[in-house]
């Protein structure tokens, strides 16, 4: 299982939101590029970046910073936030981004999402953000009645790289990963699932590690890394350790 440090960018800075609330923002660094270099130095194998301004606007707002990160670090970058058309997909994937995450589009524009997957097989990740099991889109501002597992099943095993499954209620709260919901979604589809939201301690990494056989390939860690509650180096060691 891979530990993926998160860099959420708002107004050009590295921040964390509490439960996806744009009014509850904590700034952790003024320079996201330097933060990416730090995570690389500490052993990150992959970095997760979200353009928070882009997720609200529906188009990239911090692309210049994201591409600068791509130039400076030597580990793959996966990017989400405001990717709603093929031009944006082309722009990122042709300029150093390893994979893009389609969240809002996965619900609103299935034709585009499937076209992107066909054009860039193995580089398209589905983003499913859920509040009480129901999908939320547009920077989590718009709640829907779409069931998260139903949305995942709609795409099935169609060559997508993975699903990033985020429990919004736990995101940025350090209250523990929703193991049950993540495991249920992973068991419902035939593609790798990346857990996200709520990682608080190294115990959360161990709990996910214990159920990784159901298809959980990685976990995104944000606030717990920035607050010092988790050491990236220690988390990587735990995630790599063979199951007994």
Encoded tokens for 175: 């209250």
Length of the chain: 244
Backbone phi, psi, residue 235, to 5°: -60, -40
Task: Report, as residue numbers or ranges, the catalytic residues.
Answer: 8, 129
3-state SS assignment for residue 163: strand
Cβ(54)–Cβ(88) under 8 Å?
Answer: no
Using the CB atoms, write b or e for 21-58: b if 16+ within 10 Å: ebeebeebeeebbebbbebbeeebbbbbbbbbbbbbeb
* Interatomic CA distance for residues 95 and 80, integer angstroms: 15
């Amino acid at each position: 299982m891979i530990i993926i440090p998160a860099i959420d960018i708002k107004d050009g800075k590295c921040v964390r939101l509490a439960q996806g609330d744009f009014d509850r923002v904590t700034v952790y660094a003024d320079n996201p590029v330097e933060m990416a270099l730090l995570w690389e130095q500490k052993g990150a194998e992959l970095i997760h970046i979200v353009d928070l301004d882009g997720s609200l606007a529906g188009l990239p707002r911090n692309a210049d910073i994201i591409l600068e990160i791509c130039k400076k670090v030597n580990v793959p970058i996966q990017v989400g936030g405001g990717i709603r058309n093929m031009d944006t997909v082309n722009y990122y994937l042709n300029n150093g981004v390893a994979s893009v995450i389609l969240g809002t589009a996965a619900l609103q524009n299935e034709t585009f999402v499937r076209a992107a997957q066909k054009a860039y097989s193995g580089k398209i990740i589905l983003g499913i953000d859920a509040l009480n099991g129901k999908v939320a889109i547009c920077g989590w501002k718009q709640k829907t009645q779409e069931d998260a597992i139903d949305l995942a099943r709609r795409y099935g095993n169609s060559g997508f790289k993975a699903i990033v499954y985020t429990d919004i209620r736990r995101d940025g709260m350090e209250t523990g990963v929703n193991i049950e919901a993540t495991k249920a979604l992973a068991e419902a589809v035939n593609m790798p699932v990346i857990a996200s939201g709520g990682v608080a301690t190294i115990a959360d990494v161990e709990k996910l590690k214990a159920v990784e056989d159901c298809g959980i390939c990685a976990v995104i860690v944000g606030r717990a890394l920035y607050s010092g509650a988790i050491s990236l180096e220690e988390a990587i060691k735990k995630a790599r350790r063979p199951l007994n």
